[in-house]
């Protein structure tokens, strides 16, 4: 697929078919993603591929913790808020998505259910976890970002969908109880991977982008 087409086709998928993704395809996507640039070619990314029953078990364990109201302890600090203009853009996504899903502002039941769906990776059959060695500097996050986008574009090229999910990294103790995360590695983020469910209402949503004039300065 043309790069231009893949870039425009990629979007966050929030509804997956249960159809499994073959190991061969996952390996091919990972191999492409591994061509991302990194500081000094250090290739700082390390990945756990979770599939089969383990995905469901993990998702339900997250949901259980969320229902219990367990404090989230992500291993990389997550944003506590945003200054403008970022805050408005952030709010817009929630507003537009909830509108497509027909979730009213005061409908706490549906909002909670949507929130739990995040923890289930929106039904994806595969979770990809990105780990970073704790000895790395915060600059390794640049490498990780490049890896993640290359991964997502390569998935599109294979007819697959992705959603980068901070939600999957909010309860690291649950992840460590289920998966062999090596000592000295920090859990950065999860990516839901699978075949998009074309009928899922959330997949009708496409987020907007601000015009260049608002974020480019020519000198």
Of 20-28, 33-41, 57-65, 159-167, the window that binds ligand FMN (rule: CB under 6 A) is 159-167
Q: Is 118 in the site for ligand FMN (CB under 6 A)?
A: yes
Let me know: does 208 contact 107? Beta carbons within 8 Å: no
Q: Which of 126, 144, 164, 187 binds ligand FMN (CB under 6 A)?
A: 164
Find out whether 141 and 189 touch, Cβ atoms under 8 Å.
no
Stretch in the footprint of ligand FMN (CB under 6 A) among 16-24, 38-46, 57-65, 157-165 = 157-165
The Cα–Cα gap between 167 and 182 comes to 21
Minimal distance, residue 55 CB to ligand FMN, in Å: 16
Asked if 155 touches ligand FMN (CB under 6 A), the answer is no
Candidates 26-34, 64-72, 160-168, 174-182 — which segment interacts with ligand FMN by CB under 6 A? 160-168
Other CB atoms within a 10 A radius of the CB of residue 176 amount to 13
> Using alpha carbons only, what angle is made at residue 132 by residues 126 and 137, rounded to the nearest 5 degrees?
150
DSSP classification of residue 16: B
E strands along 120-172, which residues? 126-133, 161-165
Closest C-alpha among 202, 167, 214 to residue 13: 202
Asked if 36 is part of the footprint of ligand FMN (rule: CB under 6 A), the reply reads no
- Verify binding: residue 132, ligand FMN, rule CB under 6 A: no
Scanning residues 59 to 98, which ones bind ligand FMN (CB under 6 A)? Answer: 93
Measured CA to CA, the distance from residue 186 to residue 45 in angstroms comes to: 11
Is there binding between residue 166 and ligand FMN (CB under 6 A)? yes
Residue 12 makes contact with ligand FMN by CB under 6 A: yes
For ligand FMN, the binding residues (CB under 6 A) are: 11-12, 14, 93, 118, 163-167, 189, 207
């Amino acid at each position: 697929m043309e790069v231009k087409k893949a870039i425009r086709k990629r979007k966050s998928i929030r509804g997956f078919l249960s159809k499994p993704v073959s190991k061969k395809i996952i390996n091919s996507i990972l191999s492409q993603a591994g061509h991302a640039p990194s500081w000094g070619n250090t290739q700082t990314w390390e990945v756990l591929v979770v599939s089969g029953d383990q995905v469901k078990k993990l998702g339900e364990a997250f949901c259980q913790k969320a229902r219990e109201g367990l404090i989230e302890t992500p291993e990389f600090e997550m944003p506590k808020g945003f200054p403008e203009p970022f805050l408005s853009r952030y709010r817009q996504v929630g507003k537009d998505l909830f509108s497509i899903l027909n979730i009213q502002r005061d409908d706490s039941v549906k909002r909670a259910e949507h929130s739990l769906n995040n923890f289930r990776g929106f039904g994806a059959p595969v979770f990809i976890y990105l780990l970073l060695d704790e000895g790395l500097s915060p600059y390794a996050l640049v490498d990780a970002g490049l890896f993640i986008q290359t991964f997502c574009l390569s998935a599109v090229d294979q007819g697959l969908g992705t959603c980068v999910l901070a939600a999957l990294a909010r309860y690291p103790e649950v992840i460590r109880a289920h998966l062999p995360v090596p000592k000295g590695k920090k859990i950065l983020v999860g990516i839901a991977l699978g075949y998009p469910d074309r009928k899922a209402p959330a997949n009708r949503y496409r987020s907007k982008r601000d015009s260049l004039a608002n974020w480019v300065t020519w000198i």
